[in-house]
Chains A and B, each alone.
Chain A
Amino acid sequence: MSTSSENGVVYSRLIAKEGDESIYELFIGPQHPSSGHMRFIVRLEGDIIVSVDPDIGYVHRTMEKLAEGREVIKAIPLLERMTIIDSHNVTLGLVLALEKLLDVEAPPRAQYLRVLLSEINRISSHLYGLGIAGIMLNHSTMFMWAFGDREVWIQLAEDLTGARLTHTYSVPGGVRRDMPQAFPERAEKAIRYMERRLKDYMEIFLDNPQVRSRYEGVGVLKKSEASRLGIVGPNLRASGVKYDARLAEGYAAYPDLEFEIPMREDGDCLARMQVRVEEIRQSMSLIRQVIKKLPQGPIFAEKYTRLLPPAIRQQVAQTGQVKFPGIFASLKLPEGDAVSRVEMGHGEIFYHVTGAGSTKPYRLRVVTPSFRNVILFRYLMPGHRFMDFPAIYGSLDYFPPEGDR
């Protein structure tokens, strides 16, 4: 097998090495302060990591098998449990694929509301990532600040959808709740507060010389390697690849909103964290644009509101809370399959839904960003010191329940 790296990837680092007696084997096990719900078999030579074998699957809930055994609409709250900190982005991919299969189109106002909740979730997912990266360096202030300020965005999501984390907001045909009256002004205040707080984050965490010395030049992922290993999300954009599923797919209302893709060239831990902070700023500007440009009109597809009795249709228009038609309990998926890609906080999620004419999907394939980033643990770690392990782990923003599905 070629170990040359002409196509950019060093193959020898892809295979976990067996230990001989000079190798010190440490199990950073599922029960460990900084391992999350997974285990790493770390092989050390002195202080230098020889190889890391990520052993995932401790939170594997067989989502794909469960989705095959239930009606289609039930797959949405099921698959939301893969990443509840970014729950709208994780189910949006499935809803888009189902809309292609059921050939229904969400009205423009629903498209904008989807972007609104997606960006709120992206900010709270990035804050979660910043907090975990902070506590991995034992910087408890960054952890508490990130999780404290995340409450502001969770509060906004709660006003919009009625649930803090697991909103189940998008369904095939549109969204379930309209934007409340007081929402725009509260969102504006949250954005101004967050802009001020990001400056404090930079001063106490990212520009703190102690954190800089832990992050700079550590876990460098070269541009060619990132693209060849199929890395996604901020980890990819920090290595200089300008790719974002929102540009590639142009779903929801993203084509008619302007946003740039923050990027870095050097691909080390610091670049990844800086990309996440800048993406928070981008998401806030997107929220401002959505609130300004939000079109009037229905939030649920005409094809389904037509089936509601007139009294309920009147009530929906008045309360802004959508009611489902009876057939939602047993939507029939036609023959054929559909594919969708959505940009989550952690990266690009991929759905492939195959229907076979029954109410249950024949096969539902989902590849989450964390599953695509797992290979980085094995690829990036060799050659670093043992104390770089939590720094790299924190900067990758890996989320075990999402990686295991």
Chain B
Amino acid sequence: MSGGEKVKVLEETFTRLGVQVSVLDRRVRVIALPESLRKVAEEALSLGFDHLVSIEGIDWPQNNTIEVVYHAESYNDDLRSLLLEIRVRVPRDNPRLESLIDVWPNAILLERETWEMLGVVFEGNPDLRHLLLPPWWSEIPPLRKDYKVQEEGIYVDLE
């Protein structure tokens, strides 16, 4: 099965699940809802995407949501040039999502990092604690837009 048909098969299976599917350059993008996330993940696993590359959170303060983007990948020859991208939007003030550890085991560290950096709570993750930041970190999650980093100009005025 060449790459083209593979993409078509992916497209049909995901549209049957009632999620929005679009294909970009070698990326199958799935816009899922928090409830259907687990179904999409299990479907992706059965299709061959057996591990996660990244769990990424993007903070959209304008429409008050945090978008969690999962990228799944597969090492077998026909799927390796494809990337599966699952986008889920969660409310910004109380971002909660279901942990996908039993579908993709290597999510255990990725979820910790996204929780730490953006405050998205993954229910079911047994050890959700700080990974990169120091354990006593109490300020708001740093990758949120309202965590300001001090900027610098290019001018220095002499006497």
Contacts and interface: CB of A to CB of B under 8 A. Distances in A.
Interface string A218-236: 0000000001111000001
A354 interface: yes
B146 interface: no
Contact of A367 (B53, B108, B131, B134): B53
Interface residues of B, number: 39
22 contacts: A1-B101, A1-B102, A1-B126, A2-B102, A14-B105, A15-B127, A57-B131, A57-B134, A60-B132, A66-B149, A69-B151, A227-B50, A228-B106, A230-B51, A230-B73, A230-B106, A242-B77, A339-B85, A352-B54, A363-B56, A363-B58, A365-B54
Interface stretch (A165-173, A243-251, A382-390): A243-251
A56 B71 CA distance: 23
Nearest to B107: A230
Given A228-B106, A230-B53, A248-B80, A69 B149 contact: yes
* Secondary structure dominating the interface of A: mixed
B94 interface: no
Interface in B132-159: 132-134, 142-143, 147, 149, 151
Interface of A: 1-2, 7, 9, 11, 14-16, 56-57, 60, 62, 64-66, 69, 100, 227-230, 236, 241-243, 247-250, 339, 341, 350, 352, 354, 362-363, 365, 367, 371-372, 374-375, 404-405
B102 A57 contact: no
A315 B40 CA distance: 56
A328 B51 CA distance: 37
B71 A229 contact: no
A57 B135 CA distance: 10
A374 B56 contact: no
Interface in B66-122: 69, 71, 73, 75, 77, 80-81, 83, 85, 101-102, 104-106, 108-109, 117
